[in-house]
Structure 1
């Protein structure tokens, strides 16, 4: 009996010792800046961190200036973070972009975890992103995609083929869909040169928002250097924030005036709904009503694309959302695209709100977490030939793997309580847009050269070279004209 107690005591001591120990730390840290010098080279951060994972394992820590940060790149580690420790990791770290561009952290995706975040996320989920609401607005998505296709056909009247910049076209199509759902109007509606220039400025501001949101800022790692504005990031963010605020302020005033005048719309858009729900009496928030409405309606455009000839699309006169369920190979293409090139290769960082135990190690409050998706998505223990583009894997060996946060080997939208709430919307828009484009046109690259897939850093994983393709109409394409 005495011997049994001694053995049990030793086990408890070993467990306690392991829990008090710290996660492995990458070598090469410098005083003050930590490991920043290893990430500030020519290659994107997710590639540099992936190379470090080869040496230090699927979970390790680095110092981003004064902030200790966990880098996770295996599904087992990520699953423990977003299940067992999901609430502990539910906070967002503060940063310059989130402060300036996000209305001082009022944008729901960047807000600190708490009552305000829960209230706004619930409102967004119920009033915009619920399956029922998305179904009632599918006519908007179909109409905007078809209108975008018709614009290409207008260009084809004078030419046999059109050179199209895919990122711009996809972005404009998505932005028009989102604008009609959120504020009830197309961003691209213009009848004069002045209006057209204004729309172009708006588009560029939204694009700049995404670029700046994912940009590394020295003062985020070394707060005491903010006054220097190294690289001019703060100045650029303030300029973009002003441009975006001018846009959202104009939308807000139009909605307020219509409400005051008693104007009636057939369908309320999201800004209408927010103006009827949000009041100054809300005790969960320190923000005024206008700020909450503008911040919540601030548009995050995220579009994934892939071009591949799919002959089965010929059978439809015009592609509808109801067709998507039978386009299984198209869905496989999108999954494989998101696996290899997730929109945000490094998920938006999390910050630990309380001490926790992670894979047996003690992790102190305030530690940050970054999930390296390309490394996780290309795990050779999970995926055969992980760097090869093989959509067929999602029809065979991985046919049951989804992207909705429950299969941790593929989480392009994140997982847990801070995962992207717009998964269904993003998939609907992407599937419909790509299917319609493939149905209407033959697609080829200039000179039939391979597409340059070299990546740059940034929140939306931009390519180093914009993707341009030639479009020529298919025989049945007159249905879109």
Structure 2
């Protein structure tokens, strides 16, 4: 009798094991490269640039691939239909971010709008960013202060003065675009400019420039410990030490700016100056001080600084490079601006809607050929879900290869060619998830409107005011460098001179 009881128990245990095993195997994972090595997984397959390596994996294994970044499971998506399913049907499930080292030290321990987990805190930050800081009304308020137009006019004047009586001058445009976007963002955020002329505090500007340089150098560095956790137990890495030092330095700088604005709010100075994003956040702090802490404000300032500068500057550099290699497109854009704007004034933001070919150039550059984020910022599944019939376990990181989708010959005719004309029906193609440069769904980038304004106005102004040529007969090198925002391998060197029809206007600026 006792032996029979033990037999039944053993059979029951075997039954439960078999049931669990069969259920697990019925959940079909996406296809995967055959050899996943212990500890490193599929990391041995990766070469730079990563988006091209991942695109080759998708070509071989399909639009949804299961890969191991060390011990971290990842699904790689490179088709519009799969991306649409992730960001519509499973948008909530994929609304989290993975816990990576950058989010710990540069994202205030995963509490900024970029790094926070999906929930009430993130929703509130998103509401602030979307409604209080980056809505159309807010951007119009900051534009009403003349910030974007003023900084672009300053760049135009700088180039004009360097032309020595209308002669072609050589100019390195990467730094010009970068300084332009940094000045625009920091004037919107804190009312200060740190590059060029008319710098109020040179020492403060020097400190800011140093922090920015160090920040972008570290942002593009991969922390292997994010994917091979055992390395985190060896000790604090060199990268983490640098991130900690940068965080302290940056934190103090941003806090000083907050304190300056808080002091100005205590007197009548606020009534006599333009309102900034810091002022908006301090006003919210006045109504709910326990939530809108200085750390929350510093985090939002940091997001604006990092997300809104390098990306827009890189887009302008790629766009001008493409136009120099395709002078017929440059001439067509100039003709459109001449016909719509004329020679008596500079282009305004309100004119951009009347310049569809200029918009098509930006779409073809930023929104297809050279997206600022070739891989969307990583998401993480908070629940098990099924994508295109494949099982995606909870905790899996989602990577969407935007570059692969936007350069897929099955979706785009001659995808390697620069053809702005293909975006004459831009809205229809966007609805089909064929291009996702700003992401989509709950965690889509709220700064799309600002980026389009800065890039459109700056590029339009340079096309309107100057003739542009390559430095030599050779085509501009379009090689891609390393980094998260797909920079050019070689900074753009170009030649420009004032257009004869614009000399009178430029002389009056």
Per the TM superposition, whether the score is higher than 0.5 is: yes
Higher share of residues assigned helix: 2
Q: Indicate the residue corresponding to 2:33 in structure 1.
A: 26
Query: Equivalents in 2 of 1:28, 1:249: separation in Å?
Result: 49
- SS of 1:278's partner is helix
Q: Is the 8 A contact 1:98 1:104 kept in 2?
A: yes
Query: Equivalents in 1 of 2:222, 2:156: separation in Å?
Result: 36
Q: Indicate the residue corresponding to 2:16 in structure 1.
A: none
Q: Deviations over 1:66-95 (max 9, x none)?
A: 110000001011000000000000000011
Query: Equivalents in 2 of 1:178, 1:402: separation in Å?
Result: 30
- SS of 1:411's partner is coil
Q: Indicate the residue corresponding to 2:7 in structure 1.
A: none
The answer for unaligned runs of 5 or more in structure 1 is 1-15
The correspondence of residues 262-277 of structure 1 with structure 2, limited to 5 A, is 262-265=268-271, 266-277=273-284
- Is the counterpart of residue 77 in structure 1 residue 82 in structure 2? yes
Q: Indicate the residue corresponding to 2:130 in structure 1.
A: 125
Query: Equivalents in 1 of 2:51, 2:123: separation in Å?
Result: 30
Query: Equivalents in 2 of 1:45, 1:230: separation in Å?
Result: 26
Q: Deviations over 1:4-23 (max 9, x none)?
A: xxxxxxxxxxxx89962212
The answer for unaligned runs of 5 or more in structure 2 is 1-22, 324-329
- SS of 1:84's partner is coil
- Is the counterpart of residue 372 in structure 1 residue 376 in structure 2? no
- SS of 2:488's partner is coil
Q: Is the 8 A contact 1:444 1:469 kept in 2?
A: yes
Query: Equivalents in 2 of 1:402, 1:204: separation in Å?
Result: 41
Q: Deviations over 1:130-154 (max 9, x none)?
A: 1122223323211111112112222
- Is the counterpart of residue 436 in structure 1 residue 461 in structure 2? yes
- Is the counterpart of residue 99 in structure 1 residue 122 in structure 2? no
Q: Compute the TM-score of the two structures, normalised by the length of structure 2.
A: 0.84
Q: Is the 8 A contact 1:24 1:60 kept in 2?
A: yes
Q: Is the 8 A contact 1:280 1:289 kept in 2?
A: no
Q: Indicate the residue corresponding to 1:3 in structure 2.
A: none
Q: Is the 8 A contact 1:93 1:368 kept in 2?
A: yes
Q: Compute the TM-score of the two structures, normalised by the length of structure 1.
A: 0.88
- Is the counterpart of residue 400 in structure 1 residue 427 in structure 2? yes
Cα displacement (A) at 1:205: 3.0
- Is the counterpart of residue 289 in structure 1 residue 317 in structure 2? no
Cα displacement (A) at 1:394: 1.1
Change (3 A) 1:18 1:385: farther
**Count of residue pairs the alignment pairs up:** 456
Query: Equivalents in 1 of 2:429, 2:300: separation in Å?
Result: 28
- Match 2:248 to one of 239, 242, 264: 242
The correspondence of residues 184-203 of structure 1 with structure 2, limited to 5 A, is 184-188=191-195, 195-196=201-202, 198-203=204-209
Change (3 A) 1:394 1:53: same
Query: Equivalents in 1 of 2:171, 2:210: separation in Å?
Result: 17
- Is the counterpart of residue 389 in structure 1 residue 400 in structure 2? no
- Match 2:365 to one of 326, 331, 337: 337
The correspondence of residues 63-462 of structure 1 with structure 2, limited to 5 A, is 63-138=68-143, 139-157=146-164, 160-188=167-195, 195-196=201-202, 198-226=204-232, 228=234, 232-265=238-271, 266-278=273-285, 289-298=293-302, 299=305, 300=307, 301=309, 302-303=311-312, 304-305=315-316, 306-307=319-320, 308=323, 309=330, 310-312=333-335, 313-314=337-338, 315-316=342-343, 317-338=345-366, 339-395=368-424, 398-401=425-428, 406-462=431-487
Q: Which has the larger radius of gyration?
A: 2
Query: Equivalents in 2 of 1:468, 1:349: separation in Å?
Result: 33
Query: Equivalents in 1 of 2:38, 2:213: separation in Å?
Result: 36
Cα displacement (A) at 1:174: 1.3
Q: Deviations over 1:306-362 (max 9, x none)?
A: 123222223243111121112111111111112011001111000001111111222
Change (3 A) 1:190 1:469: closer
- SS of 2:382's partner is coil
